[in-house]
Amino acid sequence: MHRYFPHTPADEAHMLKAIGADRVEDLFASIPEGCRKPEPLHLPSMSEWELTARAEELAAAMPAAGSAWVGAGNYQHYIPAVVPAIISRSEFCTAYTPYQPEISQGTLQGIFEFQTLIARLTGMEVANASMYDGATALAEAALMACRQTRRHSVAVSMGVHPHYRQVLATYCRAAGIDLAELPLKADGSTDVAPATAGELAGLIVQSPNFFGVIEPLAAQADWIHAGKGLLIAGFTEAMSLGLVASPGSQGADIVAGEGQSFGLSQMYGGPNLGIMATRKAYVRSMPGRLVGQSVDTAGKRAFVLTLSTREQHIRRERAVSNICSNAGLCAMTCAVYLATMGGTGLAHMARLNRDKAAYFKAGLLARGFRPLFDGPTFNEFALEAPEGFAAWRQRLLDERGVLFGLELKEVGYDLPGYLFCVTETRSRADLDAMLEEVAHV
């Protein structure tokens, strides 16, 4: 098999010298050796049915999604059959950027309805046409707060997802923004005492946070507003918005997070959906697309892209962001899911998540586990495990492919515990069976 590369050895040498690397392999040094494949991929020619059989063989060897008792930013939820049926229609799957409103009314209306649903769900006045994912949405929210307040420092809670904080740190470092991390209290909520509100462009918290704890957003909003800063409320588990008070109703100025829970399957970690909403007063600082409603020359309702403060539309130095697209099909999926569930259905699903997680948590506590934090939680929670749990958990994974909890040290926390998650997909029988298994630790 012949491979074609457009760059000559001289081109490669020039580029490597410019970035301070000796060879191409050095670019992959950050990837653990165990995750690399040193030899070329063996991709034999196969017929369609041979390829299908091989794919089924590989799929059968992988642990099923139902064998993971972990959330940590990506959640297993039921997806009504109507959702994939609708979004698989060609007019949704093949829709392109709606630059020409006269031929893109369907796409524009779909985005507008998505924006409306997100604004209502978050309790905000306006939402954009979606972002790439929750992590970049939260980082863009930090830049937005700095533009709005003309300050250059933000504080982020240690309760924010560690991967989100990594993305945020990258954004802030490139933009010259000072980033301070705030510790957690005994109840798992954010301790703002080490920071000075009057110096911050924004306070970034996540609710429920990485440990599943519900943050006191109203009190945090009062604290940051007293210093003329903005409260940025993030989230990874959007399902919680069906039960807890909306961030907007508690004083949040910008809401940014992940919408994967609304109709998007886990798909080994992607694709995802970034959600961002804000108050109307800050709309001109908001990145991404915004679809507005107007009327055409005949007086009929029409939709158009509006307030396009992106590099594609205005001079680069005036752009609020280089975000130039939205996760269109994922946003449409979210809109279809929310419209299918309705307010009553979403609230019911959220209560199932809360109640089942509470039942399972109580069962674990009765079997020797101890709470890491004592604050209220939604559908995931962090616990210290009894002696012998680590070895038992590893055997469970090796022998049966069941991933029971996420060790907090694996994601950078110096805490002796595990993060567990229970969603509506777990039956009472599932929960009782696992509690019976844990009794043998």
pLDDT of res. 18: 94
> What is the separation of C-alpha 304 from the centre of its chain, rounded to a whole number of angstroms?
28
User: Is the pLDDT assigned to residue 256 strictly greater than 70?
Assistant: yes
Which are the contacts of 216, defined by CB distance < 8 A and separation ≥ 6? 189
Least confident of 193-197, 270-274, 310-314, 414-418: 310-314
Q: Is the pLDDT of residue 307 over 90?
A: no
For residue 312, name the pLDDT band (cuts at 50, 70, 90). Answer: low
Q: How far apart are the first and last CA of the chain?
A: 53
**What percent of the chain clears pLDDT 70, i.e. is strictly above it?**
95
The pLDDT tens digits of the residues spanning 114-162 come to: 999 999 999 999 999 999 999 999 999 999 999 999 999 999 999 999 9
3-class secondary structure, 84? helix
- Distance, in Å, from the CA atom of 308 to the CA atom of 329, rounded to the nearest integer, reads 20
Average pLDDT along the chain: 92
Q: Sheet containing 370-371: which strands, arranged edge to edge? A: 370-371, 380-384, 418-421, 406-407
Question: Which SS3 state, helix, strand or coil, does residue 85 take?
Answer: helix
Pick the more confident residue, 314 or 322: 322
pLDDT digits (tens, 9 = 90+) for 178-225: 999 999 999 999 999 999 999 999 999 999 999 999 999 999 999 999
pLDDT over threshold 60, residue 347: yes
Distance CA 384, CA 408 (A): 10
pLDDT of residue 421 exceeding 70: yes
For 174-189, give one letter per residue: b (16+ CB within 10 A) or e: eeebebeebebeeebb
Model pLDDT, residue 39: 83
pLDDT reported for residue 65: 52
Q: Is the pLDDT of residue 1 over 50?
A: no
Instruction: Please tell me the total number of residues recorded for the chain in this structure.
Output: 441
Residue 54 phi/psi, 5° resolution? -65, -40
pLDDT of 3 > 70? The answer is no
- Please state the rounded mean pLDDT for residues 251-264: 97
Handedness of CA 210, 211, 217, 219 (dihedral sign): negative
Mean pLDDT calculated for residue range 327-342: 95
24-28, 164-168, 363-367 — which is least confidently predicted? 24-28
| Rounded mean pLDDT, 322-339 | 88
DSSP code for 214: P
pLDDT at 385: 97
pLDDT at 317 over 80: no
Q: What pLDDT, on a 0 to 100 scale, did the predictor assign at position 40? A: 81
CB 212 within 8 A of CB 240: no
The residues, ordered by sequence, that sit 6+ positions from 313 with a Cβ below 8 Å of its Cβ are none
Which has more pLDDT, 93 or 186? Answer: 186
Asked if residue 313 has pLDDT above 70, the reply is no
Q: Taking residues 14-41, what's their average pLDDT?
A: 88
What's the confidence (pLDDT) of residue 283?
A: 93
At 289 the pLDDT is: 86
- The verdict on pTM exceeding 0.85 is yes
pLDDT given for residue 95 in this prediction: 72
